[in-house]
Structure 1
C-alpha cells in the first residue's frame, strides 16, 4: 500500500503536466463578424499573436453580433474586435455604460472583459447619393422627415438592433418602411438607384468612392463605437505571450488608416491576411488613394477563373462534401428505419411526416441561430444537426411511398411461403421500394449541397465561405466562385444516383 502512494502521486503529476501542456498548445481562436473591417481586424489580432509565438486560428465571417457573442460566451472563440456602442446596447443592454471600466464591471459576471482600444471610432450613420441630397436639400437626419417617399435599404442587423432603425425613426419622426438588405449589396443598390438611403459604417471605403453624403446626426442619436477587443477573462492567463503582444495595438489604428485598409480589400481586391501583414509591417498608416480593382482586372471572366482555382478550392470542397455526406448519411440511418416502423401505422406516419415537413419550412439561418443557443457552440456540429433535420423529410416520405408501392398480393405471397415479417421486408418489400428510397436520398443530397453553403455563416466551412466573403465585399466573382463548385457537386451527385439506379434496374432484370 505504501508503494502505491508514490506511484499515485507520480501519475497525478504526469497527468497535470499533460493537461498543462495541452492548455499551452491550445490555439488562440480569433473570431470576426461578416463585414470587411471585422475580417481585417481578426487577421491583425491573429498575426500579432503568431508573431509572439502563439498558435492562432481565425474563424472568419461568423455572422452578426448575436452569433459571434454566443461563440465567445460558449468558449468557441477567445477574442474578437467589437465596438463600445454595440457592447453597451446589444450585450450589456445598458446605454449608460460608455467607459471601459463600466463595461468591464457589467461584463465580469459573464466571464468576459474588454480592453485594447484600437484607436478609431466606426459609427453607424445614414447616407445617400450626394447629387440627390443636394437636389432635395438634405444634409441631416432631421431633413429626411420632410421626404417620406424616400426608399430605405438597411442592413437586417441595423433594423433589429436596439440602437438601430426603430429608435432612430422615433427620434427623428421617420415614417418609412425600410427594405432589409445585406450591407455589401446595399452599396450596389444605392449606386444603381434602387434605394435612396442606406445605413453605413463611418469607416466604409465606398462612401467617397460612390459619392455618398453622410447625413449629420443632428440630434445625437448614435453613441460612439470605439473599436476594442472583447475577450474571455481567462485569455491573459491561457495565452500570456499573445496577450502581451496585443497591448501595443492600443491606439495604433486611426480612422483614416482603417478606411484605407477597407479600401484595399473592397476596391483593390487584396486579401485580408495580406492587408493585415502590411499594416503590422508599418504600412496603411494613412488614407492614401486606392485604385478601383475594376480598373486593373483584365475582365470579369479572368477574375472569376482566378477566384475559382484559388488555393482553398480543394479544402473548401472537401469540407462541403464532408458536411453533406455525414448529414445525409445520418438522415438515412434515421429516416429509413423510421419509415419502415411507421408505415403500418397510418396516424403515426402522418404525424411524423407533418413534423418533418414543419422542420423543412424553418428558414435555415433561423434554425442555425436556435441550434447555436441550444447547443452552446458554433461550427460543424450545429450545421450537421440542421442539415440532417432538412434531409429527413424526403427520405422518410419516399421510404413510406416506396413501401406503399408493394402490392398486397406480394405481401400475401411472402407470408404464404412462410416468411416472417422481417424476412418479407428484407427479401420482398425493401427491394421493390428501394428505387423510391434512393430517389429520396437523391433529393436529400441536392438539398444538403445547397443548404450547406449557409453553414459558413456560423464557421462550419465549405464553399459557402467564398459566398459569405463575397457578400461582405460585394464581390460577384468571389460569390460565383463559391456557387459554381457547389452547382458542380450537385450535378455530380445527380450523375452518381442516376448510375446507381441504372445498376439496380439491371440487377432486378437479371433476377
Structure 2
C-alpha cells in the first residue's frame, strides 16, 4: 500500500485553501447549470474477483472523468468496479475539461476520479518544478492533496507522458535506436522531429529536452531549425508514420502508436515528468467505505501503457464504445463477470 512521505515539500496552505473554496463554488455552479452524464451507458455487471462490500448496499457513489478517450475508458472501469462492489453508482463521466472534473471531486459532488500525478502536481497544486521519478511524484501529490480532502489510491504502471516515437520500420536504418540518449550518435541529417507548437516553445519542451540529451538547438552539429517540423497534435502521428520526420512527439498511451506501428524511445535520462494515473477519492467517502480503496488497488497494477494503448486504439481507430471496451477488459481480467453469459 502506498502511503505519504515526509520528504515532500508542501505547497503554501493559504494559497490552496482559497483555491479550494473557489473550486467548490465553481463545481456547485457547474451542477446548478444542469451537468448530466453524456455517456452513461454501461453493460450489466456480475461479480468476479470484485464482489459486493458489506457496507456498500444502498449507498450512492458518483464516478466522474474527463472527456477524452482514455478518461472515458477509465471512467467506465471505475463505474463497473464500483457497481460490482455493490454501490448504487451515478455515472458522471465525460465532463469537459480537467478542472471541472477535479472541482466535482474536491467539492464532494463526485467520489472517484482517475487522475494523473503530473496534472495534479503542475496544474491543480501549482508546482513549477516537474518530478520525473514516478514514485516520488505520486508521494508528492498524495501528501499535499490530503489537506484538500482528496486521497490518492495506488498508482498504475501506465504513465501517459510525453515521448518521442519512431516508425518501427526505420529503426534498423537509424542504427537500431531504442533510447533517447542515442539521438546524439545519429548523423545530423537523421535528427529530424515532428512536434506541436506548444511543445516547441514551452519551457519544459523541445529546447530543454535537446539540452538534457546533449544536443543544441540551431547548432550545425546539433539540431538545425530546418530539422524541426511544426504540426497540429493529431497530425504528428501520421506525419511520423509517413516519414516526414524520424521522431515524433507523442503521448505514451495513444492508441495510434500501435495502429501505425510507431515505437516509443526510452526516456533513459529521465527528462519527461511522470504522469501515472491513479484513482483519487473524496476522502470522506473513503473514510466511510475503506474497502473501496482495495477494490481499485486490485485494478491499478493491470493498467499498463500497453493495455491503455490497446483500449484507446479499439475506441479511436476501430470505433468501439468506451463502455464495451472497458467491460470486455474487466471481464477478461476476471474483475467482473458477464451476467448474460
Which TM bucket (shorter chain)? 0.5 to 0.7
1:55 CA drift (Å):
2.0
1:85 CA drift (Å):
4.0
* C-alpha distance in 1 between matches for 2:274 and 2:156: 14
Higher helix share: 1
* C-alpha distance in 1 between matches for 2:204 and 2:197: 13
1:242 CA drift (Å):
5.3
Name the SS of the counterpart of 1:59 in structure 2. Answer: strand
Aligned-residue CA RMSD in angstroms?
A: 3.8
Of 58, 62, 74 in structure 2, the residue corresponding to residue 28 of structure 1 is 62
Of 230, 254, 259 in structure 2, the residue corresponding to residue 209 of structure 1 is 259
Of 146, 154, 158 in structure 2, the residue corresponding to residue 116 of structure 1 is 154
Q: Is the 8 A contact 2:190 2:246 kept in 1?
A: no
Of 71, 84, 104 in structure 1, the residue corresponding to residue 142 of structure 2 is 104
Q: 1:495 — aligned with what?
A: none
Name the SS of the counterpart of 2:332 in structure 1. Answer: coil
1:108/1:120 CA distance change after superposition, 3 Å: same
Number of residue pairs matched by the alignment: 258
Of 61, 73, 79 in structure 2, the residue corresponding to residue 40 of structure 1 is 73
Name the SS of the counterpart of 1:216 in structure 2. Answer: coil
- Residue 222 of structure 1 pairs with residue 272 of structure 2: yes
Of 175, 181, 184 in structure 1, the residue corresponding to residue 232 of structure 2 is 181
1:214/1:254 CA distance change after superposition, 3 Å: closer
* C-alpha distance in 2 between matches for 1:160 and 1:108: 34
**What 5-or-longer segments of structure 1 have no aligned partner?**
1-23, 286-511
**What 5-or-longer segments of structure 2 have no aligned partner?**
1-57, 218-224, 336-341
Higher strand share: 2
Residues 314-346 of structure 1: CA deviation (Å, up to 9, x unaligned):
xxxxxxxxxxxxxxxxxxxxxxxxxxxxxxxxx
* C-alpha distance in 2 between matches for 1:26 and 1:160: 45
Which consecutive aligned stretches of 4+ in structure 1 deviate over 6 angstroms post-superposition?
238-241
- Residue 60 of structure 1 pairs with residue 94 of structure 2: yes
Which has the higher relative contact order, 1 or 2, with Cα contacts under 8 A spaced 6 or more apart?
A: 2
* C-alpha distance in 2 between matches for 1:162 and 1:73: 29
Q: Is the 8 A contact 2:279 2:296 kept in 1?
A: no
Q: Name the TM-score, length of structure 1 as normaliser.
A: 0.42
Q: Is the 8 A contact 1:154 1:180 kept in 2?
A: yes
* C-alpha distance in 1 between matches for 2:270 and 2:102: 27
> Which has more radius of gyration?
1
Name the SS of the counterpart of 1:198 in structure 2. Answer: strand
Name the SS of the counterpart of 1:42 in structure 2. Answer: helix
1:221 CA drift (Å):
1.3
The 5-angstrom pairing of residues 384-403 of structure 1 reads none
* C-alpha distance in 1 between matches for 2:302 and 2:267: 27
* C-alpha distance in 2 between matches for 1:147 and 1:232: 52
